[in-house]
Amino acid sequence: MDHSNYVIDEMISAKSIAARVEELAKEISALFEGTDKLIVVGLLRGSFVFIADLARELDLPVEIDFMETSSYGNSTESSREVRILKDIRGEIEGRDVLVVEDIVDTGHTLNHVVHLLKSRNPKRLKICALLDKPSRREVDIAADWIGFEIPDKFVVGYGIDYAQRNRNLDHIGAVRFVE
């Protein structure tokens, strides 16, 4: 099938995302209340828009750091091999850490990252994912906060791409391939 022809059907509106990000930030701020600094670790590149919006809503002192992993390439299917392309710069030992992921699919990437970060002895480590596709899970991992649970559809927008396109959409859309 030629994957260059596709349309995007809106699944989650920009308004719905903004409202949910505000709710998530309130819950996260409540849990980490009193922390001297929350280290927000974003998984690039898909989470960058979500992190920017979430961080602005957090009522906490925040440090932002990033990791970049690779498991997809330009395919719509996960390769299940997770590589760390960019590690965080800061120390997290004894610190409060929030891992922010765009989408939890098979769980391989998130599982790999969480194990790596936990080995560095953070005080607390929690996970917030914008999207969750539980029907695709292959490893036992769950986010502490989920923006939206979605069906097994390939999605783009709000930072999430297909072959490096559509990250700039203000909503989440399902990709539908056409002949």
| Residues with active-site annotation | 105
Give the long-range contacts of residues 65-72, CB within 8 A, separation 24 or more: 65/39, 65/40, 65/41, 65/89, 65/90, 66/41, 66/42, 67/41, 67/42, 67/43, 67/113, 68/43, 68/44, 69/43, 69/44, 69/109, 69/112, 69/113, 71/108, 71/109
Residue 86 sits at φ, ψ, to 5 deg, of: -145, 125
Q: How many Å apart are CA 172 and CA 166, to the nearest integer?
A: 10
